[in-house]
């Protein structure tokens, strides 16, 4: 090695060639490492994109299922409301029929309207008067009679 004007020694031709080879080898290694890093990032991005698409699909299925379930719930709730109203009406009718039976039982089968005379606004008493007699018989009804 020959001393340079700055006081440092300059490398010889073979040393320069060796340093250039090491520099190129390091550069190629760095490029390969950067390429692997880019590929790894791209794979991660692709995996995350696939996961997003899968989750969107699952979300759509859940939203559809919730919508169907909500519609079914509203239908059942409406049916329950109708059934509650029918129960109330039928309970009221049963109570009225039981009152009639109790009244007939308390008069021993004698029509109260024949004993007391008709009351103008009493539909039941007017109906009994038009029959002109009352019989103490059980009321019979089929299940069809309870349908609207």
Q: Note the pLDDT tens digit of each residue in 11-45.
A: 677 888 989 999 999 999 999 999 999 999 999 99
In a 10 Å sphere around its CB, with 0-12 CB exposed, 13-18 middle and 19+ buried, how is residue 124 labelled? middle
- Per-residue confidence (pLDDT) for residue 134, from 0 to 100: 47
pTM exceeding the 0.85 threshold for the entire prediction: no
pLDDT higher than threshold 90 for residue 78: yes
Cα 129 to Cα 61: distance, rounded to the nearest angstrom: 68
Residue 125 predicted with pLDDT over 60: no
Q: Which residue has the tokens 């021993």?
A: 108
The per-residue pLDDT for 93 is 96
Q: Is the pLDDT of residue 148 over 50?
A: no
- For 113, counting Cβ atoms within 10 Å of its Cβ (0-12 exposed, 13-18 middle, 19+ buried), the class is buried
* Predicted confidence band of residue 85 (pLDDT cuts 50, 70, 90): very high
């Amino acid at each position: 090695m020959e001393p340079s004007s700055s006081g440092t020694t300059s490398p010889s031709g073979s040393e320069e060639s060796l340093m250039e080879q090491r520099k190129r080898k390091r550069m190629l290694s760095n490029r390969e490492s950067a390429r692997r890093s880019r590929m790894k990032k791209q794979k991660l991005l692709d995996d995350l994109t696939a996961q997003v698409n899968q989750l969107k699909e699952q979300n759509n299925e859940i939203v559809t299922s919730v919508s169907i379930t909500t519609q079914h719930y509203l239908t059942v709730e409406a049916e329950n409301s109708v059934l509650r109203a029918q129960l109330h009406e039928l309970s009221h009718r049963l109570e009225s029929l039981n009152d009639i039976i109790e009244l007939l039982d308390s008069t021993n089968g004698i029509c109260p309207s024949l004993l007391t005379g008709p009351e103008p606004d009493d539909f039941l008493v007017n109906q009994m008067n038009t029959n002109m007699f009352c019989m103490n018989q059980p009321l019979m009804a089929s299940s069809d009679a309870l349908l609207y």
